[in-house]
Amino acid sequence: MDLQQLKYFQTVARIEHMTHAAEKLNISQPALSKSIAQLEEEVGVPLFDRKGRSIKLNRFGELFLKRTMPINKMYEDVKQEITDIITPDYGVITVGFTHTVGMQLIPRLVRMFRRKYPNVQFEFTQNNSLHLLQQLEAGEFDLCLVPYVETDISFEWVELWSEELFVIVPKDHRLADRDQIHLSEIGDDPFVSLKEGNSLRQINDQLLELANISPEVVFEGEEFHTLAGFVEAGLGVALLPNIRGLNEYHLSTIRVSEPICRRKLGIGYMKKRYMSHAAQTFQDFVVGEFRGK
């Protein structure tokens, strides 16, 4: 067993599709299949359950993945640490972020940071909050800019700012002319929301429970503008932040008097994991921007 085999195994375990994993690793599928078969022979048990084209970790594979994940990470960390010593103002910072954060915040922060550190490069991943934290835990990037989300993942999170959430309704809705409502007033309305795994979905569910209502969720979307389009079409109401471009829809945005409707956003990282000089500098820069330095 070598580090390359471990990398191949971990990629297949994450993607659970041999062809897609081979494309990701830039090798042929037969070569990848042979490598996995050799690893299984060496370990002494099959690590995947195979049915047709589908491949899924079995209980042996899950144990092997859990125990070997730190090995590649330690190897990558020590290579990065040596690189940092040799070239402290260079490096690649890997950052995950949600769709709404990336839409306006990430470009501004990167532009400002690279004025001072022009030799630093960035690699970005965009996903929903829960998947980002899973990827952070797996070591796929250094930092992630996400709303706070309740999860079993043990990560550190620093709050940067919070933003108000509004009830949005079509212009011809019975509440459209109101400046402020109690959240319970939308209890009988069809509701459109983000899919499970998004932090705003988690917040929405908590706020609806606080208001003692359970409106019927008629649509679950991937991003905010899709929800806004469904609301504009009269298919339901939503609870959203006042994102850029929301005013371009034929909607009314209504404040909520009770319960307090806000979401917190911040920067997440793994505390006990090595972080490159460049990534640590970027984290300090981001926190400083929001805390007045």
Question: What pLDDT tens digit does each residue of the chain (293 aa) get?
Answer: 688 888 899 899 988 888 888 898 999 989 999 999 999 999 999 999 987 667 899 999 999 998 888 887 788 778 777 877 666 677 889 999 987 777 668 889 999 999 988 988 899 998 888 889 989 988 889 999 998 888 888 899 999 999 999 999 999 999 999 999 999 999 999 999 988 878 889 899 999 999 999 999 999 988 888 999 999 999 999 999 988 788 888 999 999 999 999 999 999 999 878 888 889 999 999 999 988 65
Question: Are the CB atoms for 213 and 183 separated by under 8 Å?
Answer: yes
Q: What is the structure's pLDDT at 158?
A: 93
Instruction: Quickly count: other Cβ atoms within 10 Å of residue 75's Cβ.
Output: 13
Beta bridge mates, 262: 164
| CATH number belonging to the domain at 3-69, selected among 1.10.3720.10, 3.40.50.150, 3.10.290.10, 1.10.10.10 | 1.10.10.10
pLDDT for residue 112: 93
State the architecture of 161-263 in CATH terms.
Answer: 3-Layer(aba) Sandwich (3.40)
Segments making up each domain of the chain, as ranges: 3-69, 83-159+265-290, 161-263
pLDDT of residue 88: 60
Fold of the 83-159+265-290 domain: D-Maltodextrin-Binding Protein; domain 2 (3.40.190)
83-159+265-290 shares its CATH topology with 161-263: yes
pTM, 2 dp? 0.66
Distance CA 267, CA 287 (A): 8
DSSP 127-163: --HHHHHHHHHTTS-SEEEEE----SS--EEEEEEEE
Tokens read off for 199? 């932090």
Give me the residue label for tokens 């908590």: 206
